[in-house]
Amino acid sequence: MNKSLKPMADKVRKNAVKILWYTVFGGIGFVVLLVLLINFRIIGNMPPMEDLENPSAALASVVLGDDGYVLGKYYEVDRSNSEYKDISPNVIKALIATEETRFYENSGIDAKATAAIPFYLLKGDKRGSSTITQQLALNLRNDRLNTTRASNILARGFQKLEEWIVAIKLERNFTKQEILTLYLNTVAFGDNVYGIENGARTFFSKSAATLTISEAAVLVGMLKGTTLYNPRRNPREAMARRNTVIENMLKENKITAAEAAKAKAEPIVLKYNKVDHNKGLAPYFREVLRDELKQWCKTHTKADGSNYNLSRDGLRIYTTINPRMQLYAEESVAQHLKDLQKVFYQQSNIKSGSVWKKWDKELQKLVKQTDRYRNMKADDASEEEIAKAFNTKTEMEIFSWIDTKNPEKNKRDTVMTPLDSLKYMRAVLQAGFMAMDPESGEVKAWVGGPNFFYFKNDHVKNMQRQVGSTFKPFLYTFAVMSGISPNDHLPNEPIVWGNWRPKNSEGSTGGSYTMAAAMAKSLNLVAVYLIRELSVKGFVDFVKNKVGFKANIPEVGAIALGAVDISLFEMLQGYTMFPGRGFNTKPVYITRIEDRNGNILQNFPTEKREVIGETDAYTMVKMMQGVVDFGTAARIRNRFGLKGEIAGKTGTTNDNTDGWFIGYTPQLLAGAWVGCENNFIHFSTTANGQGANTGLPIWAYFFQKVYADKTLGIDPNSTFPIPANMRTDLYLNYDSNMESGAEADDVGNGAADDYGFQEDASGYADQPAENNPPKPAQPANNTPKPAQPATNPPAKPVQQQPATNTPAQQPKATYPPKPGKGN
């Protein structure tokens, strides 16, 4: 080299070395500064230490039955939480052997694996270097920010720095067992399932603690590709991946050669059971509960001041639902509706579709509510094109009663026009059923309809239907509190009230019956006579302000026959005062709500208040026992063979539109309603449509199953307690030898004009009974009088009461002593 150029070359070399060192130290300084800025959360999205100590991975909120059984979940992602002791050692072994063999040797970052990345990249091998702790850090970060792994190389590099920092912090603050547990609680197993416990229960229907080597290998194998290695979707790929994991376990001495050979020889036996809002026990209840819990979350805050999130905060909702009773209730509804539906579809106006002739406007409204119509409208289809499509036969799936024990199987493929399918589905009989403890108010079973997948409307709490004669017990309670004895005779004579002429559904008139007999036989004329004599206004005040009904109850005479829309839920609350010894008990279906850590956020105690006296309540129980023993609900004994003390009331409304039965034993109160969504679709004969034929069998089937299950502790031999102030039990004359009345002989409890509804209801709405009550028409001398028992006393008229009287102002009933044997 030219001597004159050597100094210049040395200078260039020195400058290059200086620049290199500046670059190296500058780069190191920049990285250190960047790490510090990230660590102190000046830049980036570094989670605070509090979040790492209490990771907020989204957890599904769980709904539990009264025995701890999981009824369902609410979630954005179906994630569970487990403790280390609740995870099978096979899972830990498979995870360590497959994901990171040096897990126990590093402090969150695997230096060897990280340093080897460039060499693997040069060879085209995209081998990962993230430790389990780093993967956990990424999971926690992404969940907290609701983000995913970055795809941009610069963004991913920045994200990697955050992972390293978080991983080191996790290692400093958690044990290795805790890190493994957190990791297994946050990883995905496909099908929107997160957490090892959920993975085990979804794919194998077992707990994570009981997973075998093969099952653990399947789940751990899925971590590399939740779709590719999903055993439900790709069984062959899942099998190969499982065997790779087992080989890794053998290579790392986690299992013996014999264990590996046995596990690899086993087939993958799935018992897939994905949580689905349409499946499982009590779907209608869970949906009603979801809406109420969302409102609860809006009014309750966490420690940081934010509201609870039902889908992310892992709440544990303890309910009163008894899973066994719930199962019996769902089976009972299905068992009866399956048979009843066959009869209904054979009805001529249903079979031919003529029931829709007068209801074309209603049908068109239903058409416009369908997804098919909305989708075609969105595609700019004309009304003519839509009408043609709705009248063109096509392949479809419809609801059909196939299996009463497996709701998801109640469907079949068919070919029909969309319009016909709409008519078909609207003619499916709906039902509501609820059972509760009348003393504690705990709801034990809740069935809101025949099949939640096809029919979303809940008919327990969210729907109000006309209650018919199930409302009469409140009128008779009002009468008892007004001083009328159950053994007093009341006239069964025709009544003209304005232009309303009520009648008994079986057509009987004339003579007189004891109030107990009138209740048992559900005689409309006696009920109307009572409300007219006692005051409509006084009765409405009683049921609204005393009993506590929230429904709109009009001050008209027809409410004596149940011409008012009320939900099954509210009716059962009203009935609690009978077996509840005069106390109205609000149905309760949540006992407590806990946060993800088991801290109690709220308890839900029983709410009850005294409505009537214990003696009056017992009197009504005895009268309603007559309904079951001698009256309209006698088939509980005759057909279903139920023994023991049972009381209740049937109900059937105009044109057999609604069929009801509400009944109770000393330990359990339950009610059933059956009808169609549209009031104009109903049974054409009272023989089929009466409450004793629609609602009552569901109740009876349920109690048959409950009595047969001795673990439930519902004793058919239990008795209604006699009030202490009654020296002897109450004897009531039910006139048991009189001819059967409403519903007992399939003659119903309400013909079309029984309630006297006019287009404007002017027949009585503008002429309240208490203003100018007309006297009942006197029967002609030749009016036949039903045979009376020889021991019956002569008819005793009701004492006329002032219109303003209330039960509290009127004398209590007096009770005759019980006669001796043989009476």
Least trusted range by pLDDT, from 26-30, 248-252, 474-478:
26-30
Indicate the pTM of the whole model: 0.77
What pLDDT score does 814 carry?
33
Nearest to residue 473, comparing CAs of 671, 670, 650, 656?
Answer: 650
- Report whether 528 contacts 493 (CB < 8 A): no
Mean pLDDT value of segment 281-296 = 96
- Report whether 524 contacts 557 (CB < 8 A): no
What pLDDT score does 808 carry?
39
Higher pLDDT, residue 100 or 278: 100
Mean pLDDT value of segment 48-55 = 56
Mean pLDDT value of segment 138-160 = 59
Q: 541: exposed, middle or buried (C-beta count within 10 Å: 0-12, 13-18, 19+)?
A: middle
pLDDT tens readout for residues 477-509 = 999 999 999 999 999 999 999 889 998 877 788
Give the long-range contacts of residues 124-131, CB within 8 A, separation 24 or more. Answer: 130/163, 131/100, 131/103, 131/106, 131/167
Q: How confident is the model at residue 57 (pLDDT cuts 50, 70, 90)?
A: low
Nearest to residue 643, comparing CAs of 716, 575, 723, 722?
Answer: 716
The DSSP call for residue 469 is: G
**Cα 24 from chain centre:** 65
What pLDDT score does 113 carry?
54
Least trusted range by pLDDT, from 78-92, 281-295, 322-336, 620-634:
78-92
pLDDT tens readout for residues 711-734 = 999 999 999 999 988 877 888 888
Amino acid identity, residue 415?
Answer: V
Least trusted range by pLDDT, from 12-21, 75-84, 238-247, 587-596:
12-21
Would you identify the CATH topology of the domain 77-275? Answer: Penicillin binding protein transpeptidase fold (1.10.3810)
Higher pLDDT, residue 126 or 195: 195
Question: What rounded mean pLDDT belongs to the chain?
Answer: 83
Q: Residue ranges per domain, the chain?
A: 8-43, 77-275, 347-428
Per-residue pLDDT at 112 exceeds 70: no
Which residues touch 368 (CB under 8 Å, ≥6 apart)?
A: 374
Mean pLDDT value of segment 169-192 = 86
What whole-number distance in Å separates Cα of residue 98 and Cα of residue 104? Answer: 14
What pLDDT score does 810 carry?
34
DSSP bridge partners of 301? 307
Mean pLDDT value of segment 122-147 = 64
Least trusted range by pLDDT, from 16-20, 135-139, 314-318:
16-20
Amino acid identity, residue 654?
Answer: N
pLDDT tens readout for residues 589-600 = 999 999 998 999
Residue whose structure tokens are 């939740």:
226
pLDDT tens readout for residues 664-717 = 999 999 999 999 999 999 999 989 999 999 999 999 999 999 999 999 999 999
What pLDDT score does 673 carry?
98
Amino acid identity, residue 38?
Answer: I
The DSSP call for residue 222 is: G
Mean pLDDT value of segment 505-531 = 91
Nearest to residue 67, comparing CAs of 323, 438, 289?
Answer: 323
Q: How confident is the model at residue 137 (pLDDT cuts 50, 70, 90)?
A: confident
Least trusted range by pLDDT, from 316-325, 353-362, 404-413:
404-413
Per-residue pLDDT at 802 exceeds 70: no
Which residues touch 510 (CB under 8 Å, ≥6 apart)?
A: 492, 493, 779, 783, 784, 785, 786
Higher pLDDT, residue 809 or 550: 550
Nearest to residue 568, comparing CAs of 496, 661, 654?
Answer: 661
Per-residue pLDDT at 447 exceeds 80: yes
Q: Give the three-state DSSP class for 301.
A: strand
Q: How confident is the model at residue 273 (pLDDT cuts 50, 70, 90)?
A: confident
- Report whether 333 contacts 433 (CB < 8 A): yes
pLDDT tens readout for residues 767-782 = 223 333 333 333 333 3
pLDDT tens readout for residues 742-762 = 443 333 444 334 444 333 333
Amino acid identity, residue 59?
Answer: L
What whole-number distance in Å separates Cα of residue 444 and Cα of residue 67? Answer: 11
- Report whether 67 contacts 323 (CB < 8 A): yes
DSSP bridge partners of 491? 512
Mean pLDDT value of segment 182-190 = 88
Strands (E), 676-724: none
Q: Give the three-state DSSP class for 61.
A: strand
